[in-house]
């Protein structure tokens, strides 16, 4: 009888990273995760789905959607979720710490430098030039994540409806997520089959917290 490998396969059939890989990857990500949550999540998608094959595209999109339902920074939550998914509790803790500590250290150092030298014209000019570059990174991230998430006409209509509701209707962000999630479940499963379970729990919790 063949012996089982010490490294269990990932639950979605993709690569199971070692402890060393988890530590080094999220440490690296902690130093380069600039541009806000959209750019950060796009970078994680590039590495986890396309390069390292830790997750399938569908699994990543579902995790991302779940993290959007939670309070707090989505990119950090996604890192912790993936760390836990691959290496259980301590994997989640390791992913979260290595993701957030480098950025915190860099922020403290840059804050000190800005307080000391921020009024100098070259520094102000450099910050001014960075703004459109950051917006470009965010726009590229939105397009890439949108292609991964929008797979049919119904989801495209949800996207348009959410944008209109939030931009012009002033509807609460959480309410939009709850309505979109409920509509998607109704279309996919139908009302008679819609039960409180693992797939509907985030929507149910969101509805009661509004």
> pLDDT by residue (tens digit) across 3-57?
444 444 444 546 788 899 999 999 998 888 777 788 888 889 988 998 888 998 8
Entry pTM: 0.66
Instruction: Give residues with Cβ within 8 angstroms of 11, minimum separation 6.
Output: 85
Pairwise CA distance, residues 132 & 91, whole Å: 36
For 2, the 3-state DSSP assignment is coil
DSSP per position, 148-191: HH--SHHHHHHHHHHHHHHHTS---HHHHHHHHHHHHHHHHH-G
Instruction: Give residues with Cβ within 8 angstroms of 85, minimum separation 6.
Output: 10, 11, 63, 91
120-134: per-residue pLDDT in tens? 777 677 777 777 777
């Amino acid at each position: 009888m063949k012996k089982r490998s010490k490294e269990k396969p990932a639950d979605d059939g993709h690569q199971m990273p070692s402890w060393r890989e988890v530590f080094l990857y999220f440490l690296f990500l902690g130093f380069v995760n600039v541009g806000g949550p959209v750019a950060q999540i796009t970078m994680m998608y590039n590495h986890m789905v396309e390069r390292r094959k830790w997750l399938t595209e569908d699994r990543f999109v579902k995790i991302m959607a779940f993290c959007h339902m939670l309070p707090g920074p989505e990119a950090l939550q996604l890192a912790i979720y993936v760390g836990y998914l691959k290496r259980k509790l301590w994997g989640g803790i390791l992913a979260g710490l290595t993701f957030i500590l480098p950025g915190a250290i860099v922020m403290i150092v840059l804050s000190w430098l800005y307080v000391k030298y921020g009024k100098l014209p070259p520094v102000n000019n450099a910050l001014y030039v960075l703004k459109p570059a950051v917006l470009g990174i965010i726009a590229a991230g939105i397009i890439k994540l949108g292609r991964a998430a929008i797979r049919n006409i119904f989801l495209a209509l949800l996207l348009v409806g959410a944008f209109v509701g939030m931009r012009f209707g002033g509807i609460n962000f959480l309410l939009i997520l709850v309505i979109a999630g409920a509509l998607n479940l109704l279309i996919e499963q139908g009302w008679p089959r819609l039960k409180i379970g693992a797939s509907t729990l985030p929507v149910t919790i969101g509805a009661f917290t509004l």
